[in-house]
């Protein structure tokens, strides 16, 4: 190749990336497919008893190894969930609430205190985990905020994670920050920021209404425009600012 031509084209490429760095960013972002974002893809996942993308899996192994030094055995009770898995959770809760006499809108409001609408879960990405401490005796309902606070059985785990989790790339998603809306406080739910932040940014380019309505979810006839807008702003986006 002509040396002068090579230098010229290389300089132009460098200039374009310096002036338009988002071009390189968008190229990498476009590798995340629509199917992967809503839980209908077939991502390569790693782990025994849990499933995470490779980078998140490797980081979790390091996190777990460090926790062991403090006599904490981190156990993942939920990780990757497919669309169908999340939909089964949604339908089970929806039917249970109908049995309790809740009208449709109150039913949906009750479900989204803790559970996401299928196609909108961070667990679809293989970057998020719900964790407990396997070194202590498990209560019947492990994912209860009281277990992670004060003298609760998982309070040692929570205190340790408060100090160390970020060092390994994991951040609490649904914090206890005052006036935060959307899903209730989940002291067990952590996200691997180096991957999930990009997933969320790409997810925001999708039309949430299309995702929710096109799948004909149970109860979706009660999803108004206002509800969908609020769900996006409060449940999807009102999270730990570090993950935005």
Asked if the model's pLDDT at residue 5 lies above 60, the reply is: no
Confidence tier at 18 by pLDDT (50, 70, 90): very low
Asked if the model's pLDDT at residue 29 lies above 70, the reply is: no
Q: Residue 125 to residues 50, 132, 160: CA-CA distances in angstroms?
A: 13, 20, 25
Q: What is the tens place of the pLDDT at every residue in 169-206? A: 999 999 999 999 999 999 999 999 999 999 999 999 99
Asked if the model's pLDDT at residue 163 lies above 60, the reply is: yes
pTM: 0.87
CB 185 within 8 A of CB 176: yes
Q: What is the tens place of the pLDDT at every residue in 36-79? A: 999 999 999 999 999 999 999 999 999 999 999 999 999 999 99
Integer Rg of the chain from CA: 21
Q: Give 42's contacts (C-beta < 8 A, 6+ positions apart).
A: 35
- Paired tokens of 71: 């006599």
Q: What is d(CA 103, CA 86) in angstroms, rounded to the nearest whole number?
A: 22
Confidence tier at 30 by pLDDT (50, 70, 90): low
**E-assigned strand segments in the chain:** 74-78, 128-133, 170-172, 189-192
The β-bridge partners of 227 are none
Q: What is d(CA 124, CA 43) in angstroms, rounded to the nearest whole number?
A: 10
Report pLDDT for 214: 85
CATH 3.40.50.1970 for the 20-243 domain, yes or no: no
Report pLDDT for 143: 98
CB 206 within 8 A of CB 34: yes
Asked if the model's pLDDT at residue 153 lies above 90, the reply is: yes
């Amino acid at each position: 190749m002509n040396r002068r031509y090579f230098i010229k084209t290389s300089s132009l490429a460098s200039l374009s990336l310096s002036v338009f760095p988002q071009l390189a960013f968008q190229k990498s972002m476009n590798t995340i497919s629509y199917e992967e974002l809503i839980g209908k893809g077939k991502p390569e996942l790693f782990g025994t008893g849990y499933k995470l993308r490779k980078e998140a899996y490797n980081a979790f192994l390091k996190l777990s190894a460090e926790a062991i030094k403090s006599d904490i055995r981190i156990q993942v009770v939920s990780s990757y969930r497919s669309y169908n898995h999340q939909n089964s959770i949604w339908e089970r809760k929806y039917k249970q609430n109908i049995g309790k006499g809740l009208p449709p809108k109150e039913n949906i409001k009750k479900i989204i205190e803790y559970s996401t609408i299928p196609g909108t879960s961070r667990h679809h990405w293989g970057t998020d985990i719900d964790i407990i401490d396997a070194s202590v005796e498990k209560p019947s309902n492990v994912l209860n905020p009281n277990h992670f606070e004060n003298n609760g059985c998982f309070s040692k785990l929570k205190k340790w994670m408060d100090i160390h989790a970020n060092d390994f790339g994991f951040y609490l998603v649904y914090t206890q920050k005052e006036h935060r809306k959307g899903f209730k406080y989940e002291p067990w739910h952590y996200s691997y920021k180096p991957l999930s932040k990009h997933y969320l940014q790409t997810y925001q380019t999708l039309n949430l209404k299309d995702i929710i309505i096109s799948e004909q979810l149970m109860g979706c006839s009660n999803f108004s425009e206002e509800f969908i807008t609020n769900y996006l702003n409060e449940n999807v986006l009102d999270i730990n600012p570090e993950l935005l």
